[in-house]
């Protein structure tokens, strides 16, 4: 119906296109002001006429089609009051489709998303939790739009630090400790290396030698490196399991070690490489950036070299329409440099490379479990959240059927929700009381609303309303308001994708939940009148599905009971 109004306006306003009107049309804050509103301010400039007069002209031109009850002029606004019964019918019919929300905008197009990408032998920290959660949500959003999405975990599994780790392991390491304590043990020997190297610089030479051996394919070096990698991956996989996420590729930095030579050759051919103090760089002064370092003095490649190789490889392999990188904003310069070098190399797809930065996690006063030495592991935070939820369940609803699974879905969901509640560039604060508040704008609140809808259907013994519905019975303000929210689902998904901002979906989920709770508060479901009861249950049924699907898009699960 909104589209009908948009087209109607477009047909009657020469100066504006459908796309302009789409951007201008709003849903008024109060139902007394109509169901949709069109402001005429921007037209006033073009038409050199007072906005209220323009509103009047348009109102006269469009007349009153059957789906509109009334068009009122209020100041500069045209306020549309739709035929409620037709509106309710339309939304319920459209939203009853199993694929409601799915789009085909991306059909036949490929997107790569590079996210999570922890550094082997280091802890998976809260920053990595953010890229993982944001990247996973973008994957779901783009998939819903019909894109073919490849999820890439660009593991930090190559570089001089592994030479240091091998030296440290050989001197102070112990196989059993590492098998037992995993990444924490690896981090401990790494710290030890740096302490000792302060006193004895020859350790650094030794480390360089071991990394050189790795690059030359030395069997012993690679065996130890692979073992470190396996140990680390085991821990990372536990986190992905907890979050219910997966990847299509784990090709990390080491995958590109035999592909960097080609990058260097290409840069040479194109006369882009310059020698600087023994190193090889691509100068970027013309673009107000520091140079992009390609080869170190000792001839070894670096992070950026491997990212360049990865772009060429991904373009060949996935033929991407967009290649997205989700990392902390401190890597902004790195990606700007790398993308610029790709442009200078003459690849026209440089503008399909997108860096998606995010802000910090501030732990504030939050009490967080640490394994040792104040090192924070994301896994511990997730478990802490789950444990806290379990306490709440034990207190409030101890008889619930699958307590452990329920606590996991709510505990993990609360963390994800908190992470995706604001624009990604904003810092995320950690406040347990806020995150786990069942009444605030939180994950548990939305999940609770879903469970409430589920319980309504359970009590009625219906999970799918069949047959005709008398739509004239459910045109009250609260139902209308809820259905307006439901009708926005597709626009919201497109908006989130355009902005690469999952928080758009999070806010939408909260809005639907709040509208549903108002609807539920005002409308008794279990009434005598069977027709009214069925009509209301239908509204509950579609709301339940939309909440579930919206949460799914941000990577949060639901429970039928909580
Ligand atoms: N491993 C890096 C880090 O933890 C992130 C890698 C991002 N992806 C990339 N292609 N550079 O900071």
Specify the CATH number for the domain of residue 14.
3.30.1360.70
Residue 89 lies in a domain: no
Q: Looking at the structure, tell me whether residues 528 and 430 fall in a common domain.
A: yes
Indicate the residue among 66, 82, 98 that finishes a domain.
Answer: 82
Whether 206 is in the pocket of ligand 1, judged by its Cβ within 6 Å, is no
Whether 154 is in the pocket of ligand 1, judged by its Cβ within 6 Å, is yes
- Name the residue among 2, 337, 257, 307 with its Cα closest to residue 152: 307
Tokens read off for 493: 């998904």
pLDDT number for residue 31: 87
Q: How far, in Å, is the centroid of ligand 1 from the Cα of 154? A: 6
Whether 119 is in the pocket of ligand 1, judged by its Cβ within 6 Å, is yes
Residue 529 lies in a domain: yes
Tokens read off for 479: 């139902």
Tokens read off for 329: 């904003």
Residue 163 lies in a domain: yes
pLDDT number for residue 373: 66
Pocket test for ligand 1, best of 113, 114, 116, 117 (most atoms within 8 A of CB): 117
State whether residue 201 is helix, strand or coil: coil
List the CATH number of the domain containing 274.
3.40.50.620
Range of the domain at 10: 2-82
Pocket test for ligand 1, best of 125, 154, 254 (most atoms within 8 A of CB): 154
Whether 325 is in the pocket of ligand 1, judged by its Cβ within 6 Å, is yes
pLDDT of the chain, 562 residues: tens digit per residue: 899 999 999 999 999 999 999 999 999 988 899 999 999 998 988 889 999 999 999 999 998 899 999 999 999 999 999 999 999 999 999 999 999 999 999 999 999 999 999 999 999 999 999 999 999 999 999 999 999 999 999 999 999 999 999 999 999 999 999 999 999 999 999 999 999 999 999 999 999 999 999 999 999 999 999 999 999 999 999 999 999 999 999 999 999 999 999 999 999 999 999 999 999 999 999 999 999 999 999 888 999 999 999 999 999 999 999 999 999 999 999 999 999 999 999 999 999 999 999 999 887 767 676 676 678 899 999 999 999 999 999 999 999 989 999 999 999 999 999 999 999 999 998 889 999 999 999 999 999 999 999 999 999 999 899 889 999 999 999 999 999 999 999 999 999 999 999 999 999 999 999 999 999 999 999 999 999 999 999 999 999 999 999 999 999 999 999 8
* HSE of 265, CA atoms in CB hemisphere, 13 A: 5
SS3 percent helix, strand, coil of the chain, rounded to 5, is 60, 10, 30
Q: Looking at the structure, tell me whether residues 343 and 428 fall in a common domain.
A: no
Indicate the residue among 67, 82, 97 that finishes a domain.
Answer: 82
Instruction: Judge whether 556 and 416 are in contact, CB under 8 Å.
Output: yes
Q: Looking at the structure, tell me whether residues 150 and 130 fall in a common domain.
A: yes
**How far apart, in Å, are the Cα atoms of 14 and each of 2, 43, 283, 298?**
19, 11, 51, 66
Nearest CA, atom 9, ligand 1: 154
Nearest CA, atom 11, ligand 1: 307
CA distance linking residue 421 with residue 130, whole number of Å: 12
Q: Looking at the structure, tell me whether residues 347 and 212 fall in a common domain.
A: yes
Q: Looking at the structure, tell me whether residues 397 and 357 fall in a common domain.
A: no
Whether 419 is in the pocket of ligand 1, judged by its Cβ within 6 Å, is no
Question: What's the sign of the alpha-carbon dihedral 419, 425, 426, 428?
Answer: positive
* Residue 139: CB atoms within 10 Å: 25
Total residues belonging to the chain: 562
State whether residue 171 is helix, strand or coil: helix
Residue 389 lies in a domain: yes
Whether 253 is in the pocket of ligand 1, judged by its Cβ within 6 Å, is no
Residue 118 lies in a domain: yes
List the CATH number of the domain containing 546.
1.10.730.10
Phi, psi of 538 (to 5 degrees): -60, -40
Residue 415 lies in a domain: yes
Question: What's the sign of the alpha-carbon dihedral 155, 161, 166, 170?
Answer: negative
Instruction: Judge whether 149 and 143 are in contact, CB under 8 Å.
Output: yes
Q: Looking at the structure, tell me whether residues 291 and 150 fall in a common domain.
A: yes
pLDDT number for residue 298: 85
Instruction: Judge whether 82 and 67 are in contact, CB under 8 Å.
Output: yes
* Residue 392: CB atoms within 10 Å: 16
Whether 443 is in the pocket of ligand 1, judged by its Cβ within 6 Å, is no
Residue 224 lies in a domain: yes
CA distance linking residue 138 with residue 517, whole number of Å: 28
Whether 503 is in the pocket of ligand 1, judged by its Cβ within 6 Å, is no
Phi, psi of 120 (to 5 degrees): -55, 140
Closest atom of ligand 1 to CA, residue 335? 11
Q: Looking at the structure, tell me whether residues 114 and 27 fall in a common domain.
A: no
Q: Looking at the structure, tell me whether residues 347 and 435 fall in a common domain.
A: no
Instruction: Judge whether 164 and 190 are in contact, CB under 8 Å.
Output: yes
Instruction: Judge whether 324 and 138 are in contact, CB under 8 Å.
Output: yes
Say if pTM beats, i.e. exceeds, 0.85: yes
Tokens read off for 298: 């000792």
Q: Looking at the structure, tell me whether residues 186 and 283 fall in a common domain.
A: yes
Indicate the residue among 341, 367, 393 that finishes a domain.
Answer: 367
Q: How far, in Å, is the centroid of ligand 1 from the Cα of 223? A: 23
Tokens read off for 326: 């989700």
Q: Looking at the structure, tell me whether residues 143 and 260 fall in a common domain.
A: yes
Q: How far, in Å, is the centroid of ligand 1 from the Cα of 508? A: 30
Pocket test for ligand 1, best of 134, 327, 335, 339 (most atoms within 8 A of CB): 327
Describe the crossing of helices 403-419 and 219-243 by its angle, rounded to 10 degrees: 100
Q: How far, in Å, is the centroid of ligand 1 from the Cα of 330? A: 11
Q: Looking at the structure, tell me whether residues 145 and 189 fall in a common domain.
A: yes
Whether 156 is in the pocket of ligand 1, judged by its Cβ within 6 Å, is yes
Residue 65 lies in a domain: yes
Instruction: Judge whether 551 and 478 are in contact, CB under 8 Å.
Output: no
Nearest CA, atom 6, ligand 1: 117
Whether 130 is in the pocket of ligand 1, judged by its Cβ within 6 Å, is no
Q: Looking at the structure, tell me whether residues 259 and 405 fall in a common domain.
A: no
pLDDT number for residue 369: 64
How many domains does the chain fold into?
A: 3
Pocket test for ligand 1, best of 331, 339, 342 (most atoms within 8 A of CB): 331
Instruction: Judge whether 72 and 30 are in contact, CB under 8 Å.
Output: no
């Amino acid at each position: 119906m909104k589209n009908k109004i948009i087209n109607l306006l477009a047909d009657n306003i020469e100066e504006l296109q459908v796309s302009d009107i789409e951007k201008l049309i709003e849903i008024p804050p109060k139902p007394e002001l109509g169901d949709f509103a069109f402001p005429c301010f921007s037209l006033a400039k073009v038409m050199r006429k007072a906005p209220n007069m323009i509103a009047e002209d348009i109102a006269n031109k469009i007349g009153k089609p059957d789906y509109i009850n009334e068009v009122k002029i209020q100041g500069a606004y045209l306020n549309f009051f739709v035929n409620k019964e037709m509106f309710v019918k339309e939304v319920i019919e459209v939203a009853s489709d199993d694929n409601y929300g799915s789009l085909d905008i991306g059909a036949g197009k490929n997107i790569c998303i590079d996210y999570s990408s922890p550094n082997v032998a280091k802890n998976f920290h809260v920053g990595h939790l953010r890229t993982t959660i944001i990247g996973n949500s973008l994957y779901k959003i783009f998939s819903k739009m019909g894109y073919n999405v490849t999820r890439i975990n660009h593991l930090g599994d190559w570089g001089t630090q592994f030479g240091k780790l091998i030296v440290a392991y050989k001197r102070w390491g112990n196989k059993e400790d590492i098998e037992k304590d995993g990444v924490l043990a690896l981090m401990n020997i790494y710290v030890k290396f740096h302490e000792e190297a302060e006193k004895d610089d020859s350790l650094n030479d030794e480390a360089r030698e071991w990394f050189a051996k790795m690059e030359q394919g030395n069997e012993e070096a690679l065996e130890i490196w692979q073992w470190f990698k396996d140990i680390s991956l085991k821990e990372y996989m536990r986190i992905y399991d907890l979050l219910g996420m997966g990847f299509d590729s784990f090709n990390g930095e080491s995958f590109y070690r035999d592909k960097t030579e080609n990058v260097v050759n290409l840069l040479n051919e194109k006369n882009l490489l310059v020698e600087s103090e023994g190193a090889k760089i691509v100068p970027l002064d013309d673009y107000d950036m520091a140079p992009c370092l390609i080869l170190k003095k000792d001839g070894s490649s670096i992070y950026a070299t491997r990212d360049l190789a990865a772009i060429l490889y991904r373009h060949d392999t996935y033929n991407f329409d967009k290649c997205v990188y989700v990392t902390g904003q401190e890597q902004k310069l790195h990606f700007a440099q790398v993308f610029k070098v790709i442009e200078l190399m003459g690849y026209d797809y440089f503008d399909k490379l997108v860096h998606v930065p995010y802000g910090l996690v501030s732990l504030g006063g939050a009490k967080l479990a640490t394994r040792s030495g104040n090192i924070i592991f994301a896994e511990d935070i997730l478990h802490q959240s789950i444990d806290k939820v379990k306490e709440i369940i034990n207190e409030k609803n101890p008889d619930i059927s699958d307590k452990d699974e329920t606590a996991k879905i709510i505990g993990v969901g609360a963390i994800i929700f908190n992470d995706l509640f604001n624009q990604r560039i904003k810092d995320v604060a950690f406040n347990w009381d806020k995150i786990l508040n069942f009444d605030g704008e939180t994950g548990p609140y939305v999940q609770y609303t879903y469970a409430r809808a589920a319980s309504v259907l359970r009590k009625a013994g219906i999970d799918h309303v069949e047959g005709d519905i008398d739509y004239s019975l459910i045109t009250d303000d609260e139902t209308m308001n809820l259905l307006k929210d439901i009708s926005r689902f597709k626009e919201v998904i497109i908006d989130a994708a355009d902005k690469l901002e999952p928080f758009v979906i999070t806010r939408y989920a909260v809005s639907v939940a709040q509208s549903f709770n108002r609807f539920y508060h005002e409308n008794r479901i279990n009434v005598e009148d069977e027709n009214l009861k069925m009509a209301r249950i239908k509204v509950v049924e579609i709301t339940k599905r939309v909440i579930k699907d919206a949460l799914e898009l941000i990577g949060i699960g639901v429970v039928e009971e909580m």
